[in-house]
Chain A
């Protein structure tokens, strides 16, 4: 039973990040590859505040999420300054930069050994309680996502991808849309990072990173349509499908690499399949 709770908890964390990825990748066309950085950053900030500076846990969580939004605002600023290609490469570089920072600043982050013994809040101390809490949080996120999709902001985000100049001609600030998407996506990644770190109760430099990016991009690409159902189904497929290899008789040392290989092949197939669809082709104007 513990295995299913664990998988479900992973699914809920991935779903939260997937919502942020769907809004940025599929709806806004912003290739926000820095979401794994926000995922790790919020977890590390909470752990450092609580364990090193003895800040109350819920206050640590609130401060971590606030600082993650600040980080998102920084990425939003960079997006407005550089070209799309440069931004995408800088986002990839930020994953390595954050990893380097975490490994180097070992007095704060524990370096390569990481931070262990991260306690969950009192009210969600057991795994089933954490899963229930995660379910509640994700329900709120999905309802908010549905409301945003149906609102004028949702239309502005889709318009930003199709024709940003026309959007501006209607008096909508591109910067406001960019900020909303990037800061919102960063916040959702931060929430997912906290849920995930409470599940594993341990942090090291490998938390988040490229494997997290691959899962996130797979969900975002699969959840092409701007619908809540799309991101739900995408998360189910991406999280549960590779679990099938756990039931095959492979040495445990190879399972991690097999999973990553499966994700990368899945992502290539997905991108090939959807690259001809209208959402990734610019309308001829």
Chain B
């Protein structure tokens, strides 16, 4: 029983990290319809800035400030790169530009910091135990921040004027423009906020594992799959799918029959298969709804 609970807890922690990224992707897709693939690389770059601050012994708060600055700059840079394609509605070209931008960021990180793994926390990770199950301190931070982020995002998107503007832009950009809403400013803010959230994920991930230049790509692809499996138009779907696509492979890996032992490296393969099956049956996602096409 404790083993099952441990698997579930680990899946919830990882699912929450994926949820952070999926929410960032959801927000960007809502305002610009673009799949911003380079968010993973941006998150890793921010984590490297945090690592740099720690290495230079400038204190945690200065490292956080450095990371925030990196996230803001990269968010702005990605906005300027992708805005043209958003205006011309060239979504797939924007995906390619975003992909190239992300790969470029990873190459720069590899050139500056080298490809070897880096550790933000040296030595053994601090852990907490209760009822026979353990959780690392970064994992606990992830859960707390995850709950806060979900509540804040849900309230903002569903209940506030800013959320209504966000949803309006995703449905009908022309009409929103005639109402005097500065869409460029909204998109800029969303890109920056998403980059900051991605950076937060990068730092939390790097605390739990080792930091490498290519760490972000796998997680951003899982987040994308969560977004599409859940339905890119409804944040509830994103939240649910982020956990489902982590829980199911974890159970398959840990509870497979003895003659079919799967290692954890099969996770991405199972996630891909689940996505293909779900999207073949429900192409718009589990919680999809039809939005007005303009």
Does A254 sit at the interface, judged by CB under 8 A? Answer: yes
Interface size on A, residues (CB 8 A): 40
Given contacts A81-B283, A264-B103, is CB(A271)–CB(B35) below 8 Å?
no
Q: Could you give, for residues 266-277 of chain B, a 1 whenever the CB lies within 8 Å of some chain A CB and a 0 otherwise?
A: 111101110110
Stretch among B94-102, B131-139, B181-189 lining the A interface:
B94-102
Q: Could you give, for residues 81-118 of chain A, a 1 whenever the CB lies within 8 Å of some chain B CB and a 0 otherwise?
A: 11111101110111011011101100000000000000
Q: Could you give, for residues 103-119 of chain B, a 1 whenever the CB lies within 8 Å of some chain A CB and a 0 otherwise?
A: 11011101100010000
How far apart are the CA atoms of A217 and B37 in the complex, in Å? 16
Does B279 sit at the interface, judged by CB under 8 A? Answer: yes
Does B154 sit at the interface, judged by CB under 8 A? Answer: no
A253 to chain B, nearest CB (A): 8
Given contacts A93-B221, A275-B84, is CB(A78)–CB(B35) below 8 Å?
no
Q: Could you give, for residues 20-32 of chain A, a 1 whenever the CB lies within 8 Å of some chain B CB and a 0 otherwise?
A: 0000000000010
How far apart are the CA atoms of A37 and B85 in the complex, in Å? 27
B119 to chain A, nearest CB (A): 21
Given contacts A93-B272, A100-B265, A261-B104, is CB(A81)–CB(B217) below 8 Å?
no
Q: Are B101 and A264 in contact (CB under 8 A)?
A: yes
Chain B residues with CB under 8 Å of A100's CB are 265-269
Interface of A is mostly: helix
B161 to chain A, nearest CB (A): 28
Interface size on B, residues (CB 8 A): 47
Does A280 sit at the interface, judged by CB under 8 A? Answer: yes
Does B156 sit at the interface, judged by CB under 8 A? Answer: no
Given contacts A93-B275, A268-B81, A281-B88, is CB(A104)–CB(B265) below 8 Å?
yes
Does A258 sit at the interface, judged by CB under 8 A? Answer: yes
Interface residues of B in 215-263 (CB under 8 A from A): 217-218, 221, 224-225, 228, 232, 262-263
Q: Are A261 and B81 in contact (CB under 8 A)?
A: no
Q: Are B228 and A89 in contact (CB under 8 A)?
A: yes
Q: Are B275 and A90 in contact (CB under 8 A)?
A: yes
Q: Are A257 and B218 in contact (CB under 8 A)?
A: no
Chain B residues with CB under 8 Å of A90's CB are 225, 272, 275-276, 279
Chain A residues with CB under 8 Å of B276's CB are 78, 90
Closest to B29 in A: A85
Q: Are A271 and B93 in contact (CB under 8 A)?
A: yes
B143 to chain A, nearest CB (A): 26
Closest to B33 in A: A85
Does A214 sit at the interface, judged by CB under 8 A? Answer: yes
Q: Are A103 and B265 in contact (CB under 8 A)?
A: yes
B83 to chain A, nearest CB (A): 12
How far apart are the CA atoms of A96 and B283 in the complex, in Å? 21
B residues near A, CB below 8 A? Answer: 35, 37, 81, 84-85, 88, 90-93, 95-97, 99-101, 103-104, 106-108, 110-111, 115, 217-218, 221, 224-225, 228, 232, 262-263, 265-269, 271-273, 275-276, 279-280, 283-284
6 further A-B pairs in the complex, CB-CB below 8 A; given A214-B100, A268-B97:
A88-B35, A100-B267, A210-B103, A257-B110, A263-B103, A281-B88
A residues near B, CB below 8 A? Answer: 31, 78, 81-86, 88-90, 92-94, 96-97, 99-101, 103-104, 210, 214, 217, 221, 254, 257-258, 260-261, 263-265, 267-268, 271-272, 275, 280-281
A-B contact list, 7 entries, CB within 8 Å: A83-B283, A88-B95, A89-B228, A93-B224, A97-B268, A101-B269, A271-B100
